[in-house]
Amino acid sequence: MSFKKLDDLGRRLESLEHALSILGADEATHMAVGGGEKRAEAMASLAGMYHAQATAPEIADWIEAAKAEDLDTDRKLAVAEFERNYINATCLPTEFVERRTAATMRSEQLWRELRPRGDWDAFLPALEGVVALVREEAALRAAATGLAPYDALMDQYDPGNRTAEIDAVFADLKSFLKDFVPEALAVQEERLARRPRKTLNAPYPIERQRELGLAAMRATGFDFTHGSLAVSHHPFCGGVPTDVRMTTRYRTDEFLSSLMGVLHETGHALYEQGLPRDWSHWPLGKARGMGMHESQSLFVEMQLARSPQFWEFMLPLVHQHLGEDAVPGWEIEDILNEVNHVERGYIRVDADEVTYPLHVILRYELEQDLVAGTLEASQIPEAWDTKMIEYLGISTINDPKDGPMQDVHWPGGAFGYFPSYTLGAMIAAQLGTAMARDLPDMGEQMRRGDFAAINRWRAERIWTEASRHSTPDLIARATGEKLDADHFKAHLRRRYGR
C-alpha cells in the first residue's frame, strides 16, 4: 500500500528532523565552543541525508498511487501535503541548489563581516549574485507550482498567500499608519507628560528573572513535561513538539526585555505543543507556516501580554519573584508605558507594533521589485531611503548598517519571508476579535491569569488543525472571514489612539 510507504518515509524524515532540531538547539545552548566545526559537518551531512530521502524519485510514484487509494480524510489531506513538500523539495535541480547554497553561505559570511562597518559597496557584488539566483529560483518554483514568481517564493513560507490579496491588505494598513503613527506619538507624548517613565530598581539577578520567566510560561500554558527554557545569545523557540526548546537572554539592568521575549516565544511553543501528536511525522502534522506561527507568538505577546488586564495578574508575579522593591511605586500604567512605547526607528527588530508593519511593507515592496527585475540590488539604498522617509520620516542613506544591511534575510537568500511578520500581527488581531466574540469574559480571565479557555479556543481552531488548510483558509475558518486589516487597525487604535 503506497500510503504506508509515505507514512514510513515520514517517520524516517521526522527522525532526521528531530536530530537536526535538537542538535541546532543544543548548538546555541550547551555546545562547547570548540565543537562547532564537527557539529556543522554532522548537521550538513544529516541535512544531505534528509534531502536525498525526501527527493527520492520513487516518492512521486507513491504519491500518485496513494491518491488512487481509498483513504480517510486525514490521509487524503496528508497525501496532498506530501505532494506539496515533494514538489517544493524537487523543483530545484541539484546543480542549482549547490550553486545557491554556496553563494548564500558566502554572502551571509560576507554580510556578517561587512555589516558592522556598513560597507555596502563591498557587499553589493555578493548581494547581486544572490538576487540573480533568487530570480532564477523564483522562475523554477513558478514553473513547478504554476504560481507567479514572487508568490512561488512566498508559498514556501505561507502556503496559499498571494500578492493579489496581500498587496491590498498591506496598502490599506500602510495608508492607515501614515496618519496613525503621528497620532500615536502625540497621544504618547501627552500621556508621558501626565505620567513620566519611572526608573527601574536594578540590578535584577538572572536566577530570579529565570524564575519569573518560568512562572509566566507556566501561567500562560507552557507544558514543562514537553519543553524547557535555556539561555542563548539570540532567543528562539526550537526543538520538537514533544520537547520544545525555548531560550531567552538576560540583562541585569532591566527585566522586561527578557520577560516579553519569553512570552513571545511561549506563543510559538504553545503552537508546537498543541499540534496533533498522532501524525507528527506527516507534513500535514506540522505547523501551517511562518505567518501563522508568528500570529501565535504575537497573540501572546501583543494581544495578551501588552494589555492592562494581563498585568493585573503579572505585576504581582514580578513582585513575588524579583522582590517587593523590584519596581518601586509602579502601577500597571507604568509597565504599559515601557512595554508599549512607540518610536520611529531605523531597526525592524527593535520596532514597536505600531511602526513595525512599515518596516515590513517597505521590504515587501522592494523584494517584489527585485524579483521582478524592476529594481536592481545597486538601487536598493536609494529606494530604501525614499520609502523610509515616506513611511517613517527618517533617512538611512548615510548608514547602510542600519538601513538595507540590517537583516540577514536577503544576504541569506530568504525572499518572500518578510511579509510573514506583519501577516502574523494582523492574524493575531483578527483572532483576538473573534475570540472576544466567543469569550466575552476573556479580559476577566486574563486578570485572573486564567488562560485555559483562551488556549482551548486557539487549540481547536489553529493548533490541532496543523496543515489541514492553506493559510488563508485557516484564517477564514478560525475567524469567520478572510484576512482584513481592520482588526489590526482597531487593535492599534484601542491601545495607542485617542
Residue 33 near its own copies by CB under 8 A:
yes
The residue among 11 and 477 lying less far from its own copies, judged by its C-beta, is: 11
Which of 28, 46, 91, 214: binder of its own copies (CB under 8 A)? 46
Tell me, residue by residue from 184 to 223, as one string, x for binding to its own copies by CB under 8 A and - for no binding: ---------------------------------------x
Residue 56 touching its own copies (CB under 8 A): no
- Cα angle: 293, vertex 21, 97; to 5 degrees: 85
The DSSP letter of residue 498 is -
Q: Helices in 373-410 by DSSP H: which ranges?
A: 380-392
Residues 106-145: x/- map of binding to its own copies (CB under 8 A)? ----------------------------------------
- Tell me whether residue 137 is exposed, middle or buried, using C-beta atoms within 10 angstroms of its C-beta: 0 to 12, 13 to 18, 19 or more: buried
In whole angstroms, how close is the CB of 183 to its own copies at the nearest point? Answer: 45
Is residue 26 a contact point for its own copies (CB under 8 A)? yes
Pick the piece of the chain touching its own copies (CB under 8 A) from 38-46, 77-85, 316-324, 367-375: 38-46
Grid coordinates of 102: 554556496
Q: Please identify which residue in 5, 18, 135, 198 interacts with its own copies, judged by CB under 8 A.
A: 18
* Identity of the amino acid at 94: T
23 near its own copies, rule: CB under 8 A = yes
CB of 21 to its own copies, least distance (A): 10
139-to-86, 132, 150, 481 alpha-carbon distances in Å: 17, 11, 9, 32
Phi, psi of 387 (to 5 degrees): -70, -40
From the list 224, 408, 438, 494, which residue makes contact with its own copies (rule: CB under 8 A)? 224
**107: closest CA among 83, 126, 133, 131?**
126
Q: How far apart are CA 104 and CA 237, in angstroms?
A: 24
Question: Are the C-beta atoms of residues 318 and 212 closer than 8 Å to each other?
Answer: yes
Asked whether 149 and 139 are in contact (CB, 8 A), the reply is yes
| 190 belongs to the catalytic site | no
Cβ proximity to its own copies: between 14 and 294 the closer is 14
Which of 424, 433, 440, 442 lies closest to 478 in space, CA to CA? 433
Binding test (CB under 8 A) with its own copies, winner from 4, 15, 113, 480: 15
Handedness of CA 81, 82, 85, 86 (dihedral sign): negative
What x/- string results for residues 268 through 287 when contact with its own copies is judged by CB under 8 A? Answer: ------------x-------
| Span from 19-27, 188-196, 256-264, 444-452 in contact with its own copies (CB under 8 A) | 19-27
List the catalytic residue out of 14, 265, 353, 367: 265
Structural Rg of the chain based on CA atoms: 23
Those residues whose C-beta lies under 8 Å from the C-beta of residue 382, and which sit 6 or more positions away, are 397
Residue from 31, 65, 147, 490 touching its own copies (CB under 8 A): that is: 31
Binding mask 235-254 for its own copies (x = CB under 8 A): -----x-xxx----------
Stretch that binds its own copies, among 44-52, 93-101, 370-378, 387-395 (CB under 8 A): 44-52
Residue 494, burial from CB neighbour count under 10 angstroms (0-12, 13-18, 19+): exposed
Q: Which residues are catalytic?
A: 265
Residues forming contacts to its own copies in the complex (CB under 8 A) are 11-12, 14-16, 18-19, 22-23, 26, 29-35, 37-39, 41-43, 45-46, 49, 223-228, 230, 240, 242-244, 280
